[in-house]
A = this chain, B = another copy of it.
Amino acid sequence: MSLLALLDYASVLVFALTGALVASRAQLDLVGFAFVACLTAVGGGTMRDLLLDRDPVFWVGQPAYILIASGAAALVFFTAHLVESRYRLLIWLDSFALSIAVAAGTGVALAQAQPPVIVVLMGMMTGCLGGLMRDVVCNEVPLVLKQGELYVSCALAGAVAAMIATGLGLATLPALGLCALVCWGLRAGSLIFGWRLPVYKSRPPRTRG
C-alpha cells in the first residue's frame, strides 16, 4: 500500500508538470496552470478508482496530492521560460509520467486481485487518460493518438510485463519496476529511434495483396 501511494504521488507530480507545460503553451494564468495540472495529474487515477469502486478516490482521501500538483504548476509558471524547448521537455516528462502511472494503475488492480484483462486495462487507463484529458481540454493533438508513435502500446506492454512477472512469482515491487521500465523503454525508443507498429493504410501493402 505504501508503494502504491508512492507511485501515485510520483505520477501526480510528473503529470502535473506536463499539464502546466501545456498550460504554458496556452498562455494561461497561474490558476489556469493549477487547474490543467490537477486535471492531468489525477484524471487517470480518478477513473481507475471510480471504476474499481475504491472509496474514497485517492486524492479525495489525501488532499496532499492536490497541493503537490498545484505546487508543480507554480514551479512551471515561474521557471518554464528558462527552458530551451518546452515541447521537448513536455514529451519526455510525459514519458516518465506515463510509465509511473501505468505501474500505479497496474499495482492497484493487482492488489485487488482483479482478472488479468482488467489489471492490464487499469494500467493502461491510469497511464493514458490524464494526458488524454489534458490534450482534449487544451485542444492539443492527443499524444495518445499521435500517428506513427508508440504510446498506448507502451502502456499495454508495461502492464502485460507486470502481469506475466507476477504470474511467474515475482514480487510486486520488482514487477511494477519492470512494468515502468518496459513502458518507458518502448516510449523512449519510439521517440529516439522512431520505433513504431505498422499503421492502417487505406491501400493495403503489397505483402498482403
Contacts and interface: CB of A to CB of B under 8 A. Distances in A.
A81 B202 contact: yes
Contacts of A132: 137
Contacts of A28: 145, 147, 199-200
Interface string A173-209: 0000000000000000000000011111111100000
Given A53-B56, A152-B32, A198-B29, A81 B142 contact: no
Contacts of A63: 115-118, 121
A77 interface: yes
A28 to B, nearest CB: 6
A168 interface: no
A31 B200 contact: no
A18 interface: no
Top 7 closest pairs, chain A to chain B, by CB: A63-B117, A29-B197, A31-B153, A81-B204, A35-B152, A24-B200, A29-B199
Interface of A: 23-24, 26-36, 38, 46, 50-53, 55-57, 60, 63, 66-67, 77, 80-81, 86, 114-118, 121, 124, 128, 132, 136-139, 141-142, 144-145, 147, 150, 152-153, 156, 196-204
